Each structure stands twice: as structure tokens, then as C-alpha cells.
Structure 1
Amino acid sequence: MGDSAPGPRAPQLKIRQTETGVAIAVRLTPKSARDAVEGVEEFGGDPVLKARVRAVPENGKANAALEALIAKWLGVPRSTVSVIQGTKARIKIVAIDGSAIGLSALVATRLTEFSNPAS
């Protein structure tokens, strides 16, 4: 009789479809040691993508770094990614322009990397 009960489930990120693509909530940590997308976590009761950037939060530098990071993470053009809400807040809404169905699948696929870490 082993302890085979599953651990707590990771929060499920909500991918909202927009007129031009999709939008996701991101909790950004600026002035970090590295630029990275680190998974999904609960923040204020809602699931958010956790990201950190080296840029400082002044004159839009951290937001620009976040846009570049998300574009690189998803493999989409930088011009299709923009912070549309929360420019001065820790929680931001990031829009990615393109096919909503394709982008939703792409984000979901990239998120599986966090639930199935390489051994």
C-alpha cells in the first residue's frame, strides 16, 4: 500500500481568444538574473504564466523584454506580441496576433514542457 496519490495539480492557464489572436495573463518579475518563462502559477486566485526578464521596469523596458521573450518562447514574430493591459502592474495581459486556434494549441504545447520536465 504505497502513497500513489497524485500531488497537487498545476494550475491551468486560461488562453482567451481575441479578435486578432489570443491573450494570456503573465506575472512578470523584472530585474532578474535571466530571461525565462517558468511555468504556470496561481496569483490572486487566477492561473498566470510566470516569466522573468533582466530588464528594469522603467520606460517600458521590462514590457518590451517580456514581448520579445514570449515571441521567442512561442517561435512567433516579435511584432505579433504586445502587452495590452497592465503595463505598470506585475500582472500583464499579453496578446499574440495570429490564428486563435493555432496559437492556443501552440501555447498549450509549450506549457506541457513544465508539467513533463526532461529527466
Structure 2
Amino acid sequence: MQPVGDVVTVRVKPGSAKGPLVQTGPDGVLTIYVRERAVDGKANAAVLRVLAEHLGLPRARITLVAGTTARIKRFRID
């Protein structure tokens, strides 16, 4: 479980046949594969759902703070 107020950096792979899947790279950055395409915020919603499940936290405790339209995103854990 992540400490409160921690920021998690995530690399997103939208539209992936591998998804939903979370992998941790050697740099500590999580790569999250989701099937949803990056259209109308669908990929962001899927990433939030997968990240919350991976961390064992409710979605309400995770907030997207940077990278709304980018593949590299930062989430704050409350």
C-alpha cells in the first residue's frame, strides 16, 4: 500500500490487447495496459480503476494530478 499523499507515476498503454495489466519497470514506474482507447477520457477512467485495484485502494482515494492527455500520468494517493 502507498503512503498517504504519495505521488505515483504511471505510463499508460491505451488500446492494448494485453490489458488490463500492471507491470513495474526497473525505474519504478508502473506501466498500465488498458483495452480502452484514449477517447473521451475512457482510458483515464480505466487506468484509475486498474491502479486502484492494483494498490488495493478505493478509487476515491486516487486523483489524477498531471498528464490528463499524456501517456505519462501522475496520480496522488490520498
Q: Report the CA distance between 1:40 and its aligned residue.
A: 1.8
Is residue 2:16 matched to residue 1:32? yes
Over aligned residue pairs, what C-alpha RMSD do you find?
1.8
1:60 aligned partner: 41
- Which amino acid letter does the alignment assign opposite residue 23 of structure 2? E
Please list every run of at least 4 consecutive aligned residues from structure 1 whose deviation after the TM superposition is greater than 6 angstroms.
Answer: none
Q: Report the CA distance between 1:41 and its aligned residue.
A: 4.3
TM-score (normalizing by structure 2): 0.85
State the SS of the aligned residue for 2:40: coil
TM-score (normalizing by structure 1): 0.58
State the SS of the aligned residue for 1:31: coil
- Which amino acid letter does the alignment assign opposite residue 38 of structure 2? P
Q: Report the CA distance between 1:83 and its aligned residue.
A: 1.5
Count the aligned residue pairs: 76
Q: Report the CA distance between 1:82 and its aligned residue.
A: 2.1
1:95 aligned partner: 76
Compared CA separation, residues 41 and 28, structure 1 to 2 (3 A): farther
Unaligned ranges ≥5, structure 1: 1-14, 98-119
Structure with bigger RCO (C-alpha 8 Å, 6+ apart): 2
Structure with the higher fraction of residues in helix conformation: 1
Unaligned ranges ≥5, structure 2: none
Higher-Rg structure is: 1
